[in-house]
Amino acid sequence: MLKRAFDLISSGILTLILSPLLIPLAIILRLTGEGKIFYIQQRVGHGGGNFGLLKFATMLENSPNMSGGDVTMGNDPRVLPVGRFLRKTKINELPQLLNIVLGDISVVGPRPLTPRTFGFYPKDIQKEIKDLKPGLTGIGSIVFRDEESILAKSPKPHLQCYEEDIAPYKGKLEVWYKKNKSFGLDLTLIFLTIWVILFPKSTIYEKWFKDLPENNLR
């Protein structure tokens, strides 16, 4: 109940504070690219069911049916010019404040994945984290804040890199969150999210959390 109350209050306050940014941005998106403001993508939610995750439109509308599918890598040609900035700053995620109000996601939790990318998690991890409500941010979002760059630098095809390298470790991080979840941890993760957005190269989370699973990408 405390978490749900925090979700509703914080998302409401943030929507009011950010409205001077969100409204002009919606107009810019309407007048550029393909003229789309929002993009709704099916993601795996609490209990394993799907829900529509709301984002600002940053990619070509037909992107899921083009090369790369639902995994985006660095310098992806499907990303619109304005979309690059929105994705880099994570502003494209802000419409998900409505998903929080609707109860689809929480402020903090495992990042909701598409059914396809959720399937890249090992089966035991899928079972573990289906019990959790997904989040706007979380430990997985913080550690993999620049996931597209990791995919771009990998010698493997990006879907193979995601399935073999990123998904297993990201899954371990979400299980770590489940084992340690508390209101205090959620507040810490919110602070760290803001920190890594301001300082993208920071690895402060490694110093803060000494017991994180070993990073298999280093």
Number of domains within the chain: 1
Q: Does the residue 216 lie in any domain?
A: no
Is residue 217 in a domain? Answer: no
**Within a domain: residue 42?**
yes
Q: Does some domain include residue 137?
A: yes
Report CA 136 to chain centroid distance, whole Å. 6
Is residue 114 a contact partner of residue 70, using CB atoms and an 8 Å limit? yes
Q: How far is CA 59 from CA 36, 137, 201, in A?
A: 10, 21, 25
Whether residue 9 lies inside any domain: the answer is yes
**Would 148 be classed as within a structural domain?**
yes
pLDDT per residue as tens digits for the range 68-124: 666 666 567 788 778 778 887 888 888 999 999 999 999 999 999 999 999 999 899
Quick: pLDDT tens for 133-180. Answer: 999 999 999 998 888 788 878 888 888 888 888 999 999 999 999 999
pLDDT for res 65: 64
Q: Is residue 183 part of a domain?
A: yes
Give the percent of the chain with pLDDT over 90. 50
**pTM for the model:** 0.82
Instruction: Return the pLDDT at 70.
Output: 66
- Structural domain that includes position 195: 2-208
Reference 129, options 159, 75, 170; nearest CA is: 170
CB 168 within 8 A of CB 85: no
